[in-house]
Chains A and B, each alone.
Chain A
Amino acid sequence: MQVATQDERIGCGKLFGLNSLKNHVIWKIPLPAILAAVFLSLLYLATLKMGGLTESLIGFVLVAVLFHAYVISYHVKNKKIILALRLLIIGIATFLAWRYLYWRATETLPMAFGWLSAVFGLALFLAEFYGFVTTMFGFFSNISPLERKPLPLPDNQALWPHVDVYVPTYNEDPAILYPTIIAATQIDYPREKLHVYILDDGGTVQKCNDANPEKALQAQARKVELQALAARFGAGYLTREKNLHAKAGNVNSALTFTHGELILILDCDHIPTQDFLQNVVGFFLHDPKLFLVQTPHNFINADPLERNLNTFQSSPAENELFYDVIQPGLDFWGSSFFCGSAAMLRRSVLDEVGGFAGQTITEDAETTLDAMSLGYRTMYFNRPMVSGLQPETYSGFILQRSRWGQGMLQIFMLKNPWRIPNLTFVQRMLYTNFAFYWGFALSRLAMLMSPIVFLFFSANLCDTTNEELLVYALPQMLAALITTQYFYGRVRWPFMSQLYETAQAIYVTWALVAVVRKPRAPTFKVTPKGEDLNESFISELAWPFYVFLLFNVLSIGFGVWRYIDEPAHRGMIMFVEFWAVLDALFLLGMLGVLFEQRQPRKEPRVAHQERIELHWQNQTQTVAMVNASMSGLQILSPSVGLLPAVESELQVYFPQRAQSCNARIQWHWRNPQGVHYAGLCYQPDSLADERLIAAVAFGSSAQLLCNNQQRHQGKTVLGSLVWLVYTSLFKGGAHLLFIARRHIIKNLVRPI
């Protein structure tokens, strides 16, 4: 700390190596002040009107520099150069974005062309302004992401703290909890210091005595089942009198019964890896002011977009943008926050803040804010160490996202970070951004509406010329594409964000409006997990997208007519037509998402590479494991003739673990390339077998890390555009065909 203070006082004299002149007052100007002045000068330069030629030159040369920095960044290993390239990219992109926004604000707002133009023109500008602000927040938070390495625990295990593992549950199927409890109870940690508890809010006295006898019986049966599950694997079972304050109340109730110094919170579907505590506990021993270590949520099933558009195996998971890019960035600024699960917290701090906060429906972020205001720190450790489930239907997805959006807005309205004491300026700013982020819903709606309004009503939404669009908008768009690819290309395909935003825009907006009207009204709704999809169907939430698509397609047609009829405006009409077509693709893609595909109930599988041995009838065959689940595994064999027939019993031996388990061959399959696969179904005989099965499928964080990295291949802008066109046309088309078949044809055939 002392060193840092001295460095700060040195100012720029030492930085330039001019110590002989160190008494001169100019060298004593603090470095932050100098950098702020330089940054403001850069922004000032961006606002100057320099003439089309100069501004084009600056715009396109900067884009060229930006592109080269992006390309070079892929080939550089030196951390200093990596940081320099990142700052160069941020600097150029900020200059171009600010220049564009300033131009939009000062020269293009259509305030003199009637109310329609004014309203929608302003809405479009605000949407762009939103994009600018979130981009700047993104640049700021990603300026220097932290890559943490686990801190080793002391050799003397007596110094290791007691850890309580909480698995809160409400109404989930006990089968979902089964692997979680097995994995939690076999985390690599001294048995006497590891205390696993099922926190059952579905088995409270209130639930078991529900006025509806059927519900009461179900709750009692489920409670018995969970108590048995807990007893079988050495976990504790806790419940309470009443279901007050949802998940926060459940955990707070448990805090009064347990005594561990550290609390690991796991959602009931979040199966922990064995090394979870070994990786995390060390941070708490090193930093007494540490309140929280959050780890990524890693999902092993597909969300509705991944499932219905069939991208689960190839595209990075949606939440990886947050957990793999944004959270490490927030961590640098001391602003990473609790995400409800897969996180370890210090009990003493929880006691100090009065347990989990319950004022909002995102108790996790709210509690973090309370702890930060007391001067405690948070940390993010970027290693996937849970295998979880996410909602599989669009309605479940919307339920979850609406809750998140409402919760973050509630925090901003009820616990405004600018009024909470002791937060740093950056923490306040970034917490504001957490609420501001959800403005994407409104922004996306404005983006969807704008081309329709322009093409249908000839409303002037951006009062400009084609030349100015080329000078200001084109470099900014190119820069935005390049920087998005640079920062997020690894974890998010181009245009995928727009699809996710389109998916959420309408219903999240509705949810946010509800919070604005009554900030305390929203209640905690549990995200549905492990849903059963026996047949394909159209989501009941689809109708607004039909309306948007209808108007969008009509506006495109109208735009073609206007293009022919209005030679004077062809440039602008063509630009907006392109935009409208892109929107149509997003909306068609959404129809693909809303066409819920049939999915037979099965155990989620995790890709897993491990050499195993199969033993049967005195024969042994070494094969490679491809994936594993709680019910079985898939293997890859050099030849089909080397394996026993289907329904054959055999023993699977795991050489690295020196353990084995019985299994039965369920199927053989050879792909067109001649590679032979087989499916094996476990036949566990003992508790040890069940523990082995859980450990194989979900026990290794290294395996989870490897699985995620395999999906980090990225996609080019063009490749992604091709994918979008293909997927939207086919999946959206399938949706429309499905409707046609079910409704139109049925109605035609019935009279006959």
Chain B
Amino acid sequence: MKKWLLMCLCGASSIAQALSLQMSAEIPQQLTRSHAAVPSQIKPSQANKLPADNLINTELSFAELSETDLAVATLRGSDAGLTINLPVSARRAVHSVQLSLRGTLSNVLIAPSQLVVTVNEQVIGQVHLKGDASKLNVDMAVPTDMLKPGYNQVRLQAVQHYGEGCESPLANELWTQLDLQKSHFTIRSSARSQPWLLDNLDQVFDKTTWVKRPELHVLTEQAATLGQLQAMSAVVQGVALRYEYVPIKVFAERYQGVWPSQGQVVLLGTRAQLAPWLVELNIPASEHTVLAVRALPGDATRSLVLLAADDDATLLRLAQAFTLHELPLPNSAWVGLDKLSVPKLADLPPVLAVQAAAQTVTPLQSLGYKTKTLRGFDVAGESMNFWTDRWQGRVQMRMHLAYAAGMSPQSAMNVLVNHIMVGSIPLNDDKVGQYDDYSVSVPSTALHQGWNTLELKPVLIPLTHGGKCAPFFLGNLAVTVYDDSTLERLGGSSLNQPDLSLFARTGEVSVADRSEPLTLHLLDNDVDTISAGLTLVAKLTQLQKRPLWHVSLALGAPDERAGAAWLVGKKSLLPARAQSSLAASAHYALDTPVASAPLGNSWYSLLPPAWRDFFVVTPPPAQHSRATVGVSADLSEQVFALAYARSAGAWTVFSAETPAVLARGMDTITGFGHWGQLNGKLAFWHPDDSVVHTVAVDVTPISAFGLRGGLGIFASQHPWFALLAVLLLIAVLVWFVPRLLRLYRVRRHPAP
């Protein structure tokens, strides 16, 4: 059989280039055979007929599609718009799409006002915006022939007027508010009958799916061995990367003759075990390591991905090859694998967010930002997150901007950190038009330990407001923010306590462990535990945007000397120290002081009380005493995530009383809206609840910042003590140095 080095294939990703992968297939024959095999796959006897109830209606709200918590979007000014991306799966035939717009109109809008709806830049409808109607309640059909597989740009462009003569285009009265929850698309669609081929695995694990939490069932013929578990983990990574950002729910199960009723299915085993499902693909008997895809028996709308190998090691290699989601696979139903080598961890491209945490000077590029031109009058601005793990210290930004000429002096780029304005960059110098390194200093008081939000909000105002028939032109309102703008952390003491919020973005709880190999410990072989662990793997793969090659998988609890690890399993199986840490943290969380307000932050807070009363006319803020609430609660239905600091490497623990609760809890936490709530040292939540409770870093003890940071915090809270300490040390020197000098003099100067 010919060997074919797929590395020569054009278009392989940078990750794929780091791999050496050989697959075997008699390509010309295979192609022919695959084409020949396609019709056979959709024969009713093999693929079964499409179910009669195949035609379904799906309703997608604007809020779901824009993944926002906002309830409304307001279109302001004479010319404003909103863009929604409508996903359409290639495997679904769309029969009709109904767009329903719900909202409220400004009551001053007059007849020429209209809302233009475009799909992929073609106008599909125009709606008059008349203020006397007050409510926007429009339904319109979207021509399905304008929709293409993938994401379709649906834009709502409002042109708004309040007068027939001269009017101010920026008048506050010009607005239309869209209700994002109630505005929606109603899609009537059916599954397409298409062959399942390896070169369109992205359609199998389709990120344009309308399902909120796609299910993935990873099956084995027998109870999974450790080797098979590792292969299952790699398969989950491959699937997660193909779904890109859509959170998936993983079920690790044993195949017992019945296929799961929904979701996509992956079956692992030896060639012999999988023979019943491979036989139809005409795979030569000499091929023992095979990746194949076919329709799920009994349901042609769903696929069955098969990974067959004779031993666990080969199976793992095959599964690792499957993780290369950007690697082009042949246009056939199966492919054989011959050779695969995985790069070392150090050779892998860094995960962006972790890099941001580790470097002193960080270009905005590393925060996921790409050079962008922000245009228009009511531009939303850009938002990104950066990590600071330091006590005190500040952040210095150097902004690289270019802006259009002819804006009014009020035009500015406002810089906000954690929603606090820290700088405003004027955009009114018509001679310059560009800043190479405009400096914005972010004081330590504006920063949090952990993730901080950086917002760049331009306020772009034309030279005239256009009223009284003055010339008015919005087209030249633009500012470009380059991604080589930098963010520099200066000074401060480093936090040495792991933090779940870092984990939520990078998969690692501590910056210190970021380049260390990790082990995922499944504490038992229960299917719920395995499912929970693999669901976590899927989430973390999507976070890191690459396969987790540096993560190995182990069954059972680690010993106390083990390095950095993720632990998933029921509480009773956790190592003793992890259990006690979890118990202590849980108690701490339920016993947290609820009110402790210092005496204000003014200079007079430094004065002794007697002096303060004498000098300060304004009464100081009231002091609050600390209150402690002890809660007696049943924690058996709670799921915990714990970041546990250890000298050998941090542990991240996901645990619950039972595997079943843990699996449910893992499904909950990896979903939209929950994962981002992970924060601090401990998080706990009920599987059916949308709220995640956390013990944040803000309430961690001083010791979390090391000796330097801890002393610094103490000194900042007790300035007079700090001063006293300095004076005391100087006094000790003043007292004892003369004695030392006298000793020296006696020894060195015998002469009088």
Contact = CB atoms under 8 A, between A and B. Distances in A.
A32 B742 CA distance: 12
B733 A39 contact: yes
A172 B606 CA distance: 69
B126 to A, nearest CB: 46
Interface in A102-144: 103, 106-108, 111-114, 143-144
Contacts of B269: none
Contacts of B723: 54, 57-58, 61-62
B749 A146 contact: yes
B392 A51 contact: yes
Interface string A314-343: 000000000000000000111000000000
B729 A45 contact: yes
Given A49-B392, A49-B491, A112-B486, A4 B734 contact: no
B716 A283 contact: no
Nearest to A61: B723
A290 B603 CA distance: 60
B746 interface: yes
Interface string B127-155: 00000000000000000000000000000
Contacts of B606: 53, 57
Nearest to A84: B734
Interface stretch (B17-25, B501-509, B695-703, B707-715): B707-715
Given A7-B743, A34-B736, A38-B729, A50 B722 contact: yes
Contacts of B726: 42, 45, 58, 62, 95
Contact of A151 (B361, B444, B709, B752): B752
Contact of A107 (B393, B603, B745): B393
A1 interface: yes
Main secondary structure of the interface of B (DSSP, over half): helix
Nearest to A48: B712
Contact of A53 (B441, B491, B603, B736): B603
Contacts of A32: 740
B719 A95 contact: no
A410 interface: no
Contacts of B748: 333-334
A535 interface: no
A88 B730 contact: yes
B738 A48 contact: no
A41 interface: yes
A206 to B, nearest CB: 43
A555 interface: no
A251 interface: no
A379 B749 CA distance: 10
Contacts of B55: none
Main secondary structure of the interface of A (DSSP, over half): helix
B751 interface: yes
Residue of A34, A38, A286, A463 contacting most chain B CB atoms (<10 Å): A38
B493 A49 contact: yes
A95 B730 contact: yes
B363 to A, nearest CB: 10
Given A31-B740, A57-B723, A112-B398, A50 B745 contact: no
B396 A463 contact: yes
A333 B744 CA distance: 9
B716 A50 contact: yes
Contacts of B738: 80, 83-84, 87
A250 to B, nearest CB: 31
Interface in B381-419: 391-394, 396, 398
Interface in B461-502: 486, 488, 490-493
A283 B751 contact: yes
B750 A113 contact: no
Contacts of A15: 736, 739
A134 B697 CA distance: 43
Interface string A368-388: 000000000001000000000
Nearest to A113: B437
Given A7-B743, A45-B729, A50 B490 contact: no
B245 to A, nearest CB: 32
Contact of B733 (A42, A107, A112): A42
B712 A31 contact: no
B741 A143 contact: yes
A103 to B, nearest CB: 7
Contacts of B492: 49
Nearest to B424: A568
Contacts of A463: 396, 439, 488, 490
A88 B727 CA distance: 9
Given A4-B747, A35-B740, A57-B723, A91 B733 contact: yes
Number of chain A interface residues as a range: 35 or more
Nearest to B729: A42
Contacts of B392: 49-51
B716 A53 contact: yes
A613 B752 CA distance: 42
A314 B736 CA distance: 40
A92 interface: yes
B620 to A, nearest CB: 16
B488 A286 contact: no
A49 B391 contact: yes
A12 B752 CA distance: 27
Contacts of B747: 1, 4
A460 interface: yes
Interface string A707-719: 0000000000000
Contact of A54 (B361, B426, B722): B722
B740 A103 contact: no
A50 B719 contact: yes
Given A50-B712, A50-B716, A53-B719, A38 B743 contact: no
A155 interface: no
Contact of A58 (B398, B486, B722): B722
Interface string A68-95: 0000000000001001100110011001
A35 B730 contact: no
Contacts of B709: 49
B737 interface: yes
A106 B739 contact: no
A287 interface: yes
B464 to A, nearest CB: 24
A8 interface: yes
A332 B730 contact: no
Given A48-B708, A57-B723, A107-B393, A42 B730 contact: yes
Interface string B228-256: 00000000000000000000000000000
A465 interface: yes
B730 A91 contact: yes
Contacts of B741: 83, 143-144
B100 to A, nearest CB: 49
Nearest to B603: A53
A4 B743 contact: yes
A49 B493 CA distance: 7
A1 B747 CA distance: 6
Contact of B491 (A95, A107, A144): A107
Contacts of A227: none
A290 B437 CA distance: 63
B691 interface: no
A642 to B, nearest CB: 50
Which 8 residue pairs are nearest across A and B when measured between Cβ atoms? A49-B392, A51-B716, A91-B730, A54-B719, A50-B715, A107-B491, A107-B490, A48-B712
Interface of A: 1, 3-4, 7-8, 12, 15, 31-32, 34-35, 38-39, 41-42, 45, 47-51, 53-54, 57-58, 61-62, 65, 80, 83-84, 87-88, 91-92, 95, 103, 106-108, 111-114, 143-144, 146, 149, 151, 283, 286-287, 290, 332-334, 379, 460, 463, 465, 467, 568
Given A54-B719, A91-B734, 10 more contacts: A7-B743, A42-B730, A45-B722, A49-B392, A51-B444, A53-B716, A54-B715, A91-B730, A106-B491, A287-B751
7 contacts: A1-B747, A31-B740, A49-B391, A49-B709, A51-B444, A146-B749, A283-B751
